[in-house]
Copies of this chain bind each other. A is one copy, B any other.
Amino acid sequence: MGAQVVEVVEHPMDSQIKSASIVSVGNEVLSGRTVDTNAAHIGRQLRRIGVPVVSAHTVGDRREVIVRALELAASEADIVIVTGGLGPTDDDLTRQAFGDYLGCELELRDDLLEAIRNRFAARGMEMPQRNRIQACIPKAAEPIANEWGTAPGVAAERGGKLFFALPGVPREMEKMLDASVLPRLGQLAEGQAVAVQRLKCFGTGESAMAEMLGDAMDRDRNPLVNCTARIGIITLEIVATAASRDLAEAMVVDEETRLRNILGDVIYGTGEETLAEVVGHKLARAGRTLALAESCTGGLAAKLVTDVPGASAYFNRGWVTYSNEAKVAELGVPADLITARGAVSAEVAAAMAQGARRRAQADHAIGITGIAGPGGATEQKPLGLVYISVDDADGTITSRHVLFSQERSFVRLRAAQTALNALRLRLGG
């Protein structure tokens, strides 16, 4: 949240507002083998509770270099969050560096060792000797429980500053941040309240949306509206800052109403909702079932649908009919239709959806056929051309899309998202 970062820097003496610095440890980050998404995630999460990140540093797997980074970060902020370097191998040195910084030895904690042993035991494995090191933390520190991996985190305090070390594995880091770190920091951030709401949008471009929103996105507004586009999904983030949570939340509610009036059903959900979740909830509520017939998306649409826990309540079955023979044999698409119109055509998309719904005896079916590239494009049928057909008892609606991109993966993802969105609009409110 830019506003608060500036706020903090303008008044470095302001004791009300606690700030944070992030230290990412790992040669793989410096060498670019790994893009550091952890820092961005931590920045977003801390902003939610009103703690601005004022700096971020990345260092290699060197004990003394990590110590220097801890000193630097502590000189810049009240809270230091370190990620990475807690693995079991010799190039994992964050634990040792923490000991050096705190001026104490590492000690083997039996409770941590037990937890790690149990984790392996649960998989019918014996704990490798080298994992013992993960049960060691500096005497002056406290462990942070890790239920999602073998590496416990480390929490410590020095000179009134708080330090947290978390694993570099994003999944583990994110869970531990939510479960153990944010709750502690939330208490620090009193006197400042930030309310955030995310509106998830699909079906329009970023600039078209900016046009629609007009001055809503001015940088000096409070609430501030941030717009980020990622793989086709546009997220509008409303961030309101106020003296109390109630006030901030009221501001967010007003702004959300305003944006909904402008954008209508371009907004498909809120928070972290995916198109598949929204469609899934609609189907589950209505007690209806879905079948999928995919060609160019090659199973991606089914994957997205079944990413949602409990999808078996409404997802009946799916086909990946990659070859023409498969379209004919599995879905009953007339062979001469493919010959006459081509596998990538509105007619074949419709026949795929109808065949899938009939065979699966489902209430709804989607047919997807297109050209994901890099090969297969022609003058008449460009790369990114996708036909999507949604079939139900009321009939079949087929739409044509040209998803501009040279990226096979992007065309495929956009095609699957567009198909789910077509069903969402068909299912209505």
Contacts and interface: CB of A to CB of B under 8 A. Distances in A.
Given A54-B60, A303-B303, A317-B322, A35 B37 contact: yes
A54 B35 contact: no
26 contacts: A2-B60, A2-B61, A29-B40, A31-B53, A32-B40, A32-B44, A55-B65, A56-B57, A72-B72, A88-B207, A90-B218, A124-B402, A130-B210, A148-B405, A148-B406, A292-B299, A294-B299, A298-B307, A298-B311, A299-B299, A299-B301, A299-B303, A299-B305, A299-B306, A307-B408, A318-B320
A128 B208 contact: yes
Contacts of A39: 29, 32, 36, 58
A301 B306 CA distance: 12
Interface in A318-345: 318-323, 325-326, 329-330
Contacts of A55: 30, 57-60, 65
Contacts of A32: 39-45, 47, 53
Nearest to A209: B89
A62 interface: yes
Interface of A is mostly: mixed
Interface in A11-54: 27-37, 39-45, 47, 52-54
Given A2-B61, A207-B88, A410-B171, A311 B320 contact: no
Interface string A287-312: 00000101001111111011101111
Given A55-B60, A318-B320, 12 more contacts: A2-B61, A2-B91, A36-B40, A90-B218, A91-B217, A91-B227, A131-B207, A148-B407, A299-B299, A307-B409, A309-B373, A317-B322
Given A32-B43, A58-B39, A312 B307 contact: no
A178 interface: no
A316 interface: yes
Copies in the complex: 2
A110 interface: no
A201 to B, nearest CB: 14
B326 A322 contact: no
Nearest to A24: B56
A9 interface: yes
Contact of A30 (B1, B292, B302, B325): B1
Contacts of A60: 2, 5-6, 9, 54-55
Q: How large is the interface on A (under 10, 10 to 19, 20 to 34, 35 or more residues)?
A: 35 or more
Contacts of A373: 309
A248 to B, nearest CB: 15
A190 B208 CA distance: 46
Interface in A334-367: 359-360
Interface string A255-286: 00000000000000000000000000000000
A237 interface: yes
A295 to B, nearest CB: 9
Contacts of A227: 89, 91
A230 B373 CA distance: 27
Contacts of A309: 373-375, 408
Contact of A91 (B91, B226, B310, B360): B226
Nearest to A382: B122
B407 A171 contact: yes
B72 A43 contact: no
Nearest to A168: B228
A234 B119 CA distance: 20
A16 to B, nearest CB: 19
